[in-house]
Structures are given as structure tokens and as C-alpha cells.
Structure 1
Amino acid sequence: MALLTSTTEAPAMRPPRHLAATSRGRSQIDPYPRRRGIRWLVRALYSLPFLVATALVYGVGTPIDGTPNAALVERVSLIDWTRADVVWLGEIYPPITTLIAALTPGGRLGLAVLGSLVAGVFLQKLGEIMVQRRFHRSTSNILMIALAANPLFFYTATENFAGFVGLIFFGLGIADIVRFVTWGNTQSGFRAGIFFALSTLSDTSGLLYVLTALAAVPFLVLKRRGQAGARASVLLVVAYPTLAAIGALMLLNLVFLHNPLGEVGVGMLDGADGRLAGLPALFASLTGWLLLAPVVSAWLSGVIVGRWKAIPVASLVFVAILVAFVAGLIAPGSAGNTFIMMTVLAIALIPAAKQRGTTALLNVVAVAQVAIAWLAAFDRPIVVEWMSALWSALGLG
């Protein structure tokens, strides 16, 4: 009887939900805002500026040429959708964004609208991550402004759908892998694996980003320290969806085309020698320094909060971006990939500051990110051309 009594009374002894969440600390992954309707309202409000910019550029002004979305729409129009052979699989890679582009009405305008809506969801999720990680409100606000309130982010969201979606899935995967590795949240581990696979299947450079993220796992603080094979199991859970998808495609290419990269992969590597030879000149210019600036900001953020292992992680991802550029995996006309990636990494990897002085220093670095974003925007001709189209639509050009 005593056993039955204690069992039935146990639920009554549990603390209230909000106290239970507090006692579990950061491993409690609660949505923010709590109410679903409010979350969707926040997403809609975040999407609104991008929708307005899209309406101005496409409805009032003249869309510019040479953007990744323009190339994506043209590529989709040339695909023979009555085929289903191995060469065809290579032609539609990356399949997720290619299929979305094929099904989205309105061509470039439809992709710009879709990218604007995706941007709203992404920014709400980043805000949720910062609340879960207990960032100071001032730091959260400055980081959000630094990331999104600049022409680089607007251009990427509305004119580079594949690259933007790939970056989003990668960023969400990084946030979940941190929860999985350092907080021990198993569900986040499976989500991270799915997000990484989606990133790989959304953008040509996604695979390289994901492999780099996996290489960075040993630098993260593992909650289950001391357990044999813990890191190997983490890598297996996170990497399996991506490796399974890409491995299957490469195997088909190898069997039927006798080349694991396929015709599309070989075509991307054309000109790699010239791009590699041009890297020293790139980093001797202002453009190169502006590419490196967000990486330095990520390093400084790690130093400020004592998360030194964020430095090699950010460095590995930056190297991955350079390798993707040399290999031809980054679409011509892309801009802002490094800045967006490094800002998202800082949000996902850097722990919240616990002291007022540390918070102030983090805020200084975040404010510097605002300046970096705008300087980089005016340094990229394609973004300047897009801004000119926007100003002209506003009657300011």
C-alpha cells in the first residue's frame, strides 16, 4: 500500500511548469514566444521589410541581372522534367531548391517572395535561440540588427534563394548540434542531422559547410565526458543523413558515369586553379579584409566570454567558405555568405555573458558587425547595383 500511495501522489509533488523549466536550465528547449499564434505574428512582422523591398524592386523598379536567382530560374527552365536518369539527378542538384524553384510561380519574383517569408521564420528562430541561451536583451537586439538590417542580408534573402536556404539550414543545424553535444538534448541531435542534410541538398556549398561543422565537433564541450565512444556516436548521429544522401548520389555517378562527382561536379571545378591563384590578391584588397572581419569578430566574441574553442570552429568554417569559392560551389553573384555565416555561428556557439562588463564588450563587437555589414555591402558591386534599383524604385536614384 505504501508503494501505491507514493506512486499516486508523485505527480502532486511536482513543481509548477515554469519552476521545472528553470530547474532544468538550458537543456529545456522551450519555443519563444510560447504561444504559436504570437510566433507566427513575429515571423510575419520580420518578413514584412523584405516583402516591401521585393515589391519595390520587382513592382516599381527594374530587377537587376546576374543574381543567383536569375541563374537558378534559367537553369530550371532548361531541365527536361520527363527524364529520371543519373545525369538528370546531377542536373537538378541541389534538388530541394531546384524543385522549389520549378514549382514556385512567378519566376524570380516568386523566389524573392518565398525568400522573404523564409527570412521571417529564420529571424524568429534566431531570436528564440538567443532567448534560450539567455543572451542579454541588449546583445540580442544588436546582433539581430547587425545580421538583418543591412543590404547584404536583404540581397541574399531576396536574390539568392538556394544560398540563403542552405545557410539557414546550416545555422539551425549548428544551434542544434551545440544543444546535443553540450546540453545532452538527444532530440536536438537528430534535428541537427536532418538540418545538415537539408543544407547539403539545398545549396552546392552545403556539403562542405556540413563536413567542416562535423570536423569542429571535437572542439565543443561534451556533456557526456568520460564515456567511451561518445564523440564517435555524436558524429554518427549528426553525419548519417548527409553522408547517406550524398553517398547514394556519388555511388550512382560512379557506377553509371564512372566519376563520383558526375558531369555537374566536374564542371564546377573548371577554373579552380585561377580562383586559387587569385586568393592572395583578394586578401590584399579591401574586399578580402572585409571577408575576414566577421571571422575576427567571432574570435573576439569567443575570447570575451572565455569560449576559446569557438576560434578554431569559426576558422574551420571560414576555410570551408574559401574552399567552396575555389571549387566553384558558391554561385556567381553571391554576397554576404561569410558575414551571415559568422554572425549565426556567434549566436549559436558563444555562451551568454554573465557579467555586465562582458556584456558591454560583446555589445561593442556586435556594433562593429553593423559597420562591417554596411561596408561590405558597398564593396560588392552586385549589392550596390541592387541597392541602386531599390533607391530608384523609391524615387531616390
Structure 2
Amino acid sequence: MTDHAPATRPLRIATRPPRTRLDQWPRRRPRRWLLRALFALPFVVFAIVVHLLGVTTSPNIRLVERAAEIPWDRADAIWLGEIFPPISTLLAAFAPGGSLTLSLLGAISAGIFLQKIIEIMVQRRFPRSTIIILMSALALNPLFFYNATQNFAAFLGLLLFGLGLSHIVRFVAWGNTESGFRVGLYFMVAVLTDITALVYVTAAAVSAPFLTHRRSQEKGVRRANALVILYPAAAALLSLIVLNAVFLGSPFSSAMRTAFAEFGDRLVVALTFLTTFEGMWVIAPVVSAWLIAIIVRRPGAIIISSLVFVAIILGFALGLLPEGSTGNTFITMTLMAIALIPTARSRKTTTLIDLVSVLQFVIAWAAALTSTALAAWASQIL
């Protein structure tokens, strides 16, 4: 008999698989939720303090008051028009605690949202400096705190729009089919949460053909992508229009007809406002978006940001922006910058983007300090 040497086993080195574009961050679920909780904590504290100080009017309070006036023992076409947008109206009507509950829901949503925004930037391999500066510009300002805790419907609409916008890039530029379905659902829920989101969603769908398409050689791909993005939200709105036309004899509700009747006067007010000192800080985020588009050599992003800004002005002229809304343009343009900035390919590009992001931080505070709507709200607690 011959002795056989024991077989040697190859050494196993514990290695982590390389990160892909769609990996979650942080990878472990407990760490993700811990990060979301840490991000949400300042907003929760702010919401509770503001409530204890006895604020008497805010978009959340007005939403709760409007929901309380709706008769909930009906289910006809007129009633459907009264509760639109249904998601925020139903929450305001049946959530215990009234406006405080809406403020806390907004605060918790802010924590989840900020974690997802960082995840998007990590997936796209943003430099750490750009992530820190852009997140500071987005969240560390009164505009973001106000919208997150005092304007739940508009904030949730912006949140869903921002997440949907990031999935537009994945769908159009990366060819990720799952993201195409997700963006459609995000936009549909945004429209059913806040009617203002209708202007963002429409502008984003119209802007989609201007993005760099992965399958640009295929005929009709741009129209097809725009249809996938817009279809769920359009289907929800068309359903309401058909119900109005069948049961009320008019495709638009009385509130919408009033909005169209006053469109010209409100448009003049909006254009006049943009020529004021306060209006200058509303335009400034758009200029920042243009600068970033030039730096990263994506001229299509200039068209997209311009279309979204025009949509916001038209939304105000139609009366879609509720009273007390402020900071919508800033938050929207910052989200667009985060969604549309490609991975920086040089240190010079990173430095220029960081400088514009610092400018965006300054713009946020200037817009907050000059906002009459924010000043009127703050005067209740100061």
C-alpha cells in the first residue's frame, strides 16, 4: 500500500462582489433603516416643536380643513372631483392627529428620501465631495424643512417626482426596463398625491426625448419611452375626465374651469413676480441647472430644466400650486441636477460641479430669507 498525501483545500478569501449600478446603499437593510432614521430625526423634532409653538395656518392645516369639509357618505362624480388628489386628501381626512400626523409623515418621508438620493449618487459613482455638497444644498435649508414638515402633499409629490426622474435616466440611458415601469408608477402616485405634480410629470415626459437614448438607432424609441413614462399618470387623469364628461356633462370640474378662466391674470402676476428681487432667487436655481448642464456637456439638460421651469410657471397660472407653497423650484431643480449629472470623468469637472453646488446652497438660503410666504408662516412662531 502506498500512502497518499492529504488533499489540500484552496484557501477561501472572503471577498465582496463588485458593486453594480443598481445595488442598494448601504447594502445591509438594518444600516439603511438606521441611516433613514438618523436623517428623519431633525425633521421629526422640527415638526413637533413647530406644533407645540402653536402654528395656526400652514398647507397641512389647510389640507386637513378641506378634507374635513368633504362629505364621506357619497361616491359620485362630483365627490371624486372634490377629493382629488385622493391620496393626500384621504390621509388628511382619516389619519389620527390631523396636521401633526401629516408633519410627522413628511418628516419620516424626508429621511427615506435623503437616503435614496445618496443611494442614487453612490450608484452613479459621484465623488464624495459632490455628494456631501449636493446633499447639504438640498436638505440643510429652511425651504426643505418647511416643505417636508408643513406641506406634506407638495413634498410627497416632489419626492416621488425626484425618484421617478432618476429612474428615467436608468430607463432611457441604461436600458433598464424595470426602471421604466417604476417611473410610470412613481409619476402616477405623485399626480394622485399632489395636483402640482402634474406639471412636473408632463414636463419630464416631454423632456425624455432630449436625453441620450441607449437604443437611439431604433425607429420610434423616443416616443415609446415617453409613452411608458406618461401612461399610468395619464390613464388616471383621463379616467377622472371621462367620469366628469359622462356624469356632469363637462370634462373638467368646476374648480378646473375656474382655473382656466383666471389663467391670464395669474400668468401676468407670475411674470411680474419674476422681475422682483424675490423672484430673482426663484430663477437662480434654473441658472445653476444650466451651468451644470454646460459643465457636463449635456445640452439636452438645459432644455429639460427650462421645460420644467416653464411648467411650474404655468402650474401657478392655472392655480395648481397651493397657497403657501415655496421652494418648489429650488427643490425640483436640485433633484434634476442630481438625476441628470453623469459620473465625473475628471477632477476639473468635479471641482466645477462642486462650486455650482455651493452656489446652490447659497441660493437656497437667499430664497428662504426673501420668501414672503415663508416669512408669513415663520411670523406665527417667532
Give yes or no for TM over 0.5: yes
Following superposition of structure 1 onto structure 2, how do residues 92-131 of structure 1 map, counting pairs within 5 Å?
A: 92-131=83-122
Q: Percent identity between the aligned chains?
A: 50
- Per the alignment, residue 74 of structure 2 pairs with 83
In the alignment, the residues of structure 2 paired with residue 315 and residue 207 of structure 1 have an alpha-carbon distance, to the nearest angstrom, of 16
1:155, 1:386 within 8 Å by CA — same for their partners in 2? Answer: no
| 2:366 equivalent to 1:375 | yes
Q: Which runs of 5+ in 2 are unaligned?
A: 1-14
Is residue 2:56 matched to residue 1:56?
no
Once the two structures are superposed, residues 358-391 of structure 1 have per-residue CA deviations (whole angstroms, 9 ceiling, x without a partner) of 111111100111111111111112322444556x
Instruction: Report the counterpart of residue 217 of structure 2 in structure 1.
Output: 226
| 2:215 counterpart letter in structure 1 | R
Matching residue within 212, 220, 237 for 2:203 = 212
Give yes or no for contact 2:167–2:179 (8 Å, CA) kept in 1: yes
AA aligned opposite 1:379: T
1:174 lines up with 2:165 in the alignment: yes
Distance 2:272 2:230 in 1: 35
Which residue is equivalent to 1:263?
254
Residues 21-65 of structure 1, C-alpha deviation per residue, up to 9 Å, x if partnerless? 55xxxxx31111111111111111111111111121112x12142
Shift of residue 204, structure 1, vs aligned partner: 1.1
Residue 196 (structure 1) aligned with residue 187 (structure 2): yes
Out of 236, 244, 249, the position equivalent to 1:253 is 244
1:247-279 deviation digits (Å, cap 9, x = unpaired): 111011111112212123223345322211223
- Name the counterpart of 2:36: 43
Q: Identify which range, 101-110 or 35-44, moves more after superposition.
A: 101-110
> Which residue pairs with 1:3 in the alignment?
none
Change in Cα spacing, 1:306 to 1:145, as seen in structure 2 (3 Å) is: same
Segment of structure 1 superposing worse, 83-92 or 269-278: 269-278
Structure 1 vs Structure 2 CA RMSD = 1.4
Look up the match of 2:279: 288
Give the whole-Å Cα distance in 1 for the aligned partners of 2:142 and 2:16: 42
1:30 aligns with 2:23: yes
Q: 1:343-362, aligned counterparts within 5 Å?
A: 343-362=334-353
**1:18 paired to 2:10:** no
Instruction: Give the unaligned 5+ runs of structure 1.
Output: 1-15, 23-27, 393-397
**Equivalent-residue separation in structure 2 for 1:188 and 1:355 (angstroms):** 28
Deviations 1:222-262 (A, max 9, x none): 00121122222212222221111111110111111122121
Partners of 2:343 and 2:359 lie apart in 1 by 18
| 1:70 maps to which of 36, 41, 61 | 61
Match of 2:147 among 150, 153, 156: 156
Q: TM-score, normalised by structure 2?
A: 0.93
Structure 1 residue matching 2:35: 3-state secondary structure: helix
CA positional deviation for 1:280: 3.4
Matched, 1:306 2:293: no
